[in-house]
Amino acid sequence: MKILPRPDLHASTDAFELFAERMNKMDTQVPSWFERFTDQISWDEFNQNFHIDLVNKYVYVETPKAACSTVKSRLLKTITRGLPVPKEIHPTLYGSPFVRPYQLPDRMMDEILFGDDFFRFSFVREPLERVLSAYLDKIRRPMPQRDRLLKRFFPEVGSDYEPTFGEFVDCLGKIKSVKNFDKHWRPQCDLLFVKHITYHHIGCMARFEEDWAKVVGDLQLNIPLEGEKSILWHATSAKEKLDTYMTSGIRDALIAIYEDDIAFYTRIMKEN
């Protein structure tokens, strides 16, 4: 069944045409612009990571374990425009107040990702610290994802098994494709598709409030900079624990796995 525009209604004809264009494609293929990303991420996960505000004209690309809960909780206060702020910071793909890529026509997504009209930003974290934080949060804690991840990495053991950080890093070293990395430890340069997408600002978790103030200023968001809380549900104090977990062998293995990400992070720290 083909959906046709309804130019006889009072609403914008363009809006109906864009809707019809999108709906007619939904059951046949993912958008053509997404083809350049297919070797790095699934269509489902891409939609989960991109948070779009059409009013304030920005896209925030989420980097798990790099203050993403705090960023989204603060952005939610503006995107709801006076409506009650959702309590769930990580809603389902279809329950988010942010607009997702699957909801937009191809030509609009092309502008959002590659044009000049939308402000693109994200935050990153020192790569080795981020990996340790992911291990402490997702592997060692009794989190909902823990059983799934244990079955993936250690299929021979039970759900009560507690792998060491060294065992976890050994598993990471065996992953051959970027697409097979869980998003919590996928290299940030791959999560942000820096070979394809140019950003207006990439902040660092190490100086979060300073870089967050730059984002708020550039976007002219009505968000107070004083007294804002950080979301600490998933905090692990990984930075303070690096010396405890990082043997020279583990550090060398991680440097080999995250070589490109370390270079990317170093460049971001110097540029900002």
Most confident among 24-38, 130-144, 149-163 (mean pLDDT):
130-144
Which residues, at least 6 apart from 51, have a Cβ–Cβ distance to it below 8 Å?
59, 60, 61, 62, 72, 75, 96, 98, 100
Instruction: Cite the beta strand spans of 81-164 per DSSP E.
Output: 119-124
pLDDT value, residue 147: 74
56 vs 211: CA distance, rounded Å: 18
Axis crossing angle, helix 165-173 with helix 127-134, rounded to the nearest 10: 110
What does pTM read for this prediction?
A: 0.82
Confidence class of residue 239 from pLDDT cuts 50, 70 and 90?
Answer: confident
Chain segment 214-226, per-residue pLDDT in tens = 999 999 988 766 5
